[in-house]
Amino acid sequence: MPLDFYDITDIHLNSKLFEVGYADFEVLEPILSSFTKTTGLTIDPYATTRMYAGHVRLIISLIQEYLIKLKRDKPEEYKTLSRMLTHFESVQEGFIIVGD
């Protein structure tokens, strides 16, 4: 069930930017839950989802808020979310997210 992330302009899915595997998905779950509550949109781990620039900015904001609350009490979770934050900040227009 890994999620593969592509730049939204890469319509032929030629260049994967990064992947979120099972363990990372579990860490990201609270952020995705907040994202769904805020937007009504769900990232389906078994389908293809488009995430536009506004959605990416929201995810970045949610990760940043979660990291502040985490306060490094859980170093592995903090490290994983920090890495994901860098990935999300790497695109301008959005993602195509491909699930299994």
Burial class (CB in 10 A: 0-12, 13-18, 19+), 18: middle
Mean pLDDT calculated for residue range 25-43: 93
pLDDT confidence tier of residue 1, bands split at 50, 70 and 90: low
Q: What is the pLDDT of residue 2?
A: 86
Per-domain boundaries in the chain: 3-98
| CA nearest neighbour of 97 among 59, 55, 47, 58 | 47
Q: Could you read off the pLDDT of 35-83 as tens digits, one per residue?
A: 999 999 999 889 999 999 999 999 999 999 999 888 767 888 999 999 9
Q: pTM to 2 decimals? A: 0.90
